[in-house]
Amino acid sequence: MKISFLSSFLLLCSLAALAQNAVLPDTGWVRNNYIKTEQYITMRDGIKLFTAIYTPKDSSQTYPILMQRTPYSVRPYGVNSYRRSLGPNAYLMRDKYIFVYQDARGRYKSEGTFREMTPAIDNKKSNKDVDESSDTYDTIEWLLKHTKNNGKVGQSGISFPGYYSSAALPDAHPALVAVSPQAPMSDEFIGDDCYHNGAFFLMDNFGFYSGFDGKKSADGQNYDSHFQVSFNDAYQYFLDFGPLKKTNAAPYFADPNSIWRQTTAHPVYDEFWQSRNIKNHLKNIKPAVLVVGGWFDAEDLYGALKTYAAIEKQSPGNNNRLVMGPWTHGGWAAPQWKSFAQYQFGGDVNKYFQEDIETRFFNFYLKGKGSFDLPEVTVFETGTNQWKNYDVWPPKNSQPTPYFFDEKGKLSVSKPAAAKSASEYESDPAKPVSYTNVIGRGRNNEYMAEDQRFAGRRPDVLSFQSDSLTEDLTLTGEIVANLMVSMTGSDADFIVKVIDVWPANTTVPATKEGERPVQMGGYQQMVRAEVLRGKFRNSFSKPEPFTKDKIEKVTVKLNEVAHTFKKGHRVMVQVQSSWFPLVDRNPQKFMNIFEAAEADFQKSRITIHHDSRNSSHVILPVLK
């Protein structure tokens, strides 16, 4: 059966928001233990936001409020229709809270105009100055007066609701004492969702925005899609689609006010994106904060790590913690999580997180129940499959160590001595390198841990590999690649991948009876990867063309990692200039890519230099 790309993509995007509703099989327990009411709550500017409130039937005590604000609907609507489960996890639901769900301003049944990642206003001068912080504040003020509560409020959410949790932190209501932004969006041009370092994430944006902000139904419960398409091979579909400028007309995003049109109208880091960067506003934060993210989050890995870092830097002394686990986007809300791709974690990491971290966090700060003595940083270290605790992130004993490329494809700590040495490849936009070896309709969520041998066998992908490790090598922190490049074109993308190469003839034993052992011999397991659109090498706000054959430095920052390369494994770095259709094709000509015609796409000879003077290398955060 053919499933439309839109349907399959929206199912993937909404997984995090819906995962909590998969904890219990039906609504019976919720209906028997909670009373549901619905309310329009008036904001300071007169706009009314639709809010669903679930209050415990047991009225013998007062309860704290735990809320989620969302652009994805608080459905089911109607006081006689109940959610399958409440709160971030089943433990909290059974511990009893007043659970509150609110349609964000301008979404579904709420009034007003929706703005994606509403710009924060630090100095509000009148009731017309509203943002997500003020909407949260006004909602809390109403709830405190109209529910039987204990005077304490918490907030959590995954992905977009995670952003709303972050956005509630500046100038927070005094009653808001515990907040957990989970996989929060933070800066959509630099590292979350829309762009990564200026490179447009084509497949995800095309699928998501085709349905997210279409015409709203009269009852506010649904949105029409801008369009629908159906295909089985995303790579071929987008290659055949051609230049993206035709997306701005029928039958695609004909509405000039659509978020796709807003997104593509700002292909540089201008005021539009800068004003939506919530990180700059995370100052003087008062509530206790628990930031949660996943090492395999294909959407907002950046957001979790950088939200935590922004609070640490701008709110010294704040009660701020970071948890990073081996999850995809929102995977920690699933009923269980024991494996991902070829990783076997040796047990259910979700039970530990939900019961011993998330539940204890909210119970302690909102109910004064038990204790919460979790270390500052809790991360799951892949490779060893162990939870590790640190006082700071990255750890103090994480040592940035350069690993240099050489002409023989070697990667080592020794700087090259040759006066001239380089590797080159021809990048052809007509034959882009795929981001995955899987043919499918939507994003292959496992690409972040996928075997990279399919890419390494292409002539337009360079590979540099270390000798077999004589002892374990643990990386904890940010990876930075410094490439010395020259090219025949005036622009190019640079994708850098750090890969764990398994020894030949390696077999991983089965973890369950009846399962087969996993053959991992020679497996090139991607650990971390990122892209930079080359014209932004010096500034995301002021792009610059490359000069033909001129050697220039290109720095690609990869997200942090906590991974151990085991003894006998090798470290590999791959460099390439396309990652399709995850990232749109670069015509390799300096221009606004959304205005490019087919004739603008050209081949380019790209050279990576690795001599004594121009020493391309990757800086690995080695734990000493």
As a whole number, mean pLDDT of residues 559-572 equals 98
As a whole number, mean pLDDT of residues 419-430 equals 97
Q: What's the confidence (pLDDT) of residue 271?
A: 98
Q: What's the confidence (pLDDT) of residue 127?
A: 96
Q: Is the pTM of this model over 0.85?
A: yes
pLDDT digits (tens, 9 = 90+) for 110-167: 999 999 999 999 999 999 999 999 999 999 999 999 999 999 999 999 999 999 999 9
**Rounded to an integer, what distance in angstroms lies between the CA atom of residue 7 and that of residue 10?**
5
As a whole number, mean pLDDT of residues 572-578 equals 98
Q: What's the confidence (pLDDT) of residue 11?
A: 39
pLDDT at position 32 over 90: yes
Is cis: bond before 400, omega within 30 of 0? Answer: no
Q: What's the confidence (pLDDT) of residue 1?
A: 28
Matching CATH number, 398-623, of 3.40.50.970, 3.30.70.860, 3.30.2130.30, 2.60.120.260 = 2.60.120.260
Domain boundaries, the chain: 5-118+132-186+277-390, 197-273, 398-623
pLDDT-derived band at 27 (thresholds 50, 70, 90) equals confident
What does each C-alpha distance from 311 to 409, 485, 506 come to in angstroms?
Answer: 41, 35, 43
pLDDT digits (tens, 9 = 90+) for 447-496: 999 999 999 999 999 999 999 999 999 999 999 999 999 999 999 999 99
pLDDT-derived band at 505 (thresholds 50, 70, 90) equals confident
pLDDT digits (tens, 9 = 90+) for 576-586: 999 999 999 99
Q: What's the confidence (pLDDT) of residue 248?
A: 93
Query: At 142, which helix (H) or strand (E)?
Result: helix 132-146
Helix, strand, or coil (residue 487): strand
Q: Is 142 exposed, middle or buried (0-12, 13-18, 19+ CB in 10 A)?
A: middle
As a whole number, mean pLDDT of residues 298-327 equals 97
pLDDT-derived band at 10 (thresholds 50, 70, 90) equals very low
**pLDDT averaged over the chain?**
94
Q: What's the confidence (pLDDT) of residue 518?
A: 74
Q: What's the confidence (pLDDT) of residue 519?
A: 83
Matching CATH number, 5-118+132-186+277-390, of 3.30.465.10, 3.40.50.720, 3.40.50.1820, 3.90.1720.10 = 3.40.50.1820
Query: Residue 165 — φ and ψ, nearest 5°?
Result: -65, -45
**Rounded to an integer, what distance in angstroms lies between the CA atom of residue 409 and that of residue 526?**
18
pLDDT-derived band at 19 (thresholds 50, 70, 90) equals very low
pLDDT-derived band at 506 (thresholds 50, 70, 90) equals confident
**Rounded to an integer, what distance in angstroms lies between the CA atom of residue 291 and that of residue 116?**
21
Helix, strand, or coil (residue 522): coil
pLDDT digits (tens, 9 = 90+) for 210-264: 999 999 999 999 999 999 999 999 999 999 999 999 999 999 999 999 999 999 9
Percent of the chain with pLDDT over 90: 92
Q: What's the confidence (pLDDT) of residue 508?
A: 75
**Rounded to an integer, what distance in angstroms lies between the CA atom of residue 408 and that of residue 391?**
40
pLDDT at position 8 over 50: no
How many other C-beta atoms lie within 10 A of the C-beta of residue 482?
Answer: 16
**Rounded to an integer, what distance in angstroms lies between the CA atom of residue 401 and that of residue 142?**
53
pLDDT at position 515 over 70: no
Query: Residue 328 — φ and ψ, nearest 5°?
Result: -85, -170
Matching CATH number, 197-273, of 3.40.50, 1.10.101, 1.20.140, 1.10.3020 = 1.10.3020
pLDDT at position 355 over 70: yes
Q: Which residues pair with 576 in a beta bridge?
A: 495
As a whole number, mean pLDDT of residues 283-302 equals 98
What is the DSSP code string of 94-134?
HH--EEEEEEPTTSTT--S---TTPPP-SS--STT---HHH
